[in-house]
Amino acid sequence: MINPVTELRSFVSAAFFEPVQREHIESTEALVQRRWISSVTLAVGSFMLAFTLRLAPGDPAFYAATLALAAVWIVGGLISGKIYLGNAHTRAGAESGRGVVQGVIIGCLLLAFFLAGATLVAPVAVLRDPLLGLLLRAHYGIAPLVAVLTALIAIGEELFFRGALWAAVGGRQALLVTTLVYALTTIPSGVPLMVLAAALVGLVAGVHRRVTGGVLGPIIIHLIWSLGLFFLLPLVFGGWA
C-alpha cells in the first residue's frame, strides 16, 4: 500500500532538497560577458516593466510594450551565455529526465495557494482594488493575445532571472540575489501584494532551479502560475469588483 506521507516526503525531497549532479563551469571571460549582458538586460527590462505598468487600461501601447518587455528578458537571457534546462531526481532518488511532472505539480500547488489567498483578500477593498487595477490592464484587450503575452513574459523572466542572472551571480547567494532582484523589479507597480507574490514565486522557482540545475522546471512553474491567475483570478474577484 502506498503511504501518502512517505510519497509526499519523497516528492518534496526530490523537488526541493536533493540537487542533481552537474558541472556548469564557465571561463572567466564567459562569466564577465554574462554579468555585463545581465546587468544591461536588467536595467532595460526594469525600465520597460515600469513603463508598461504605468500604461492606462485599454492603452493600445500595452501590447507592444509587453511584447518588447518579453523580448528583452528572452533575448537578454539567451545571449548572455548557455542556458541549461536541468534534470531532476525521481522520488526513489534516481536521476531521470527533465522533471516536467515536478514542475507541473509545484506550479499547480503554487497556483492553488495564491487562489486561496485571493479569496481572503477579495473582501478587503484596500488590498483588492490595486490588484483589480492590474487585472484591468490585462483584461481590457483581446484575451487570447494577452494570454500569449503573459506566457512569453513568464518564459522570459525565467530565462533571465533563473537562467542568465542566476549564472551571473553564481554560488550559494544566487537564490537570495535573484529572488530579491526579481521582487524589486515589481515595486513600480505600486502594489505591495504584487511585490510579495514576486518574492514568493521567485523563491519557489529558485529553490527548484537550485535542485534541477536548469530553467525548465521554473518555466513550467511560472507558466502555470501566471496563466492560472490570468484566467481564474477574475473569477475570484468577480463578485467583489
81-110 confidence digits (pLDDT tens): 999 998 887 665 555 667 798 999 999 999
Supply the pLDDT for residue 49: 94
**Alpha-carbon gap, residue 94 to 195, rounded angstroms:** 36
Supply the pLDDT for residue 206: 96
High-pLDDT (> 90) share of the chain, %? 56
**Alpha-carbon gap, residue 88 to 158, rounded angstroms:** 17
Q: Which of 153 and 172 is assigned the larger pLDDT?
A: 153
pLDDT at 190 over 90: no
Mean pLDDT value across residues 227-233:
91
Supply the pLDDT for residue 150: 93
Mean pLDDT value across residues 103-127:
92
Supply the pLDDT for residue 54: 85
pLDDT at 15 over 80: no
pTM (2 d.p.): 0.92
Confidence of residue 56 (pLDDT cuts 50, 70, 90): confident
Q: What is the mean pLDDT of the chain?
A: 88
pLDDT at 239 over 80: no
- Cβ 69 vs Cβ 49: under 8 Å: yes
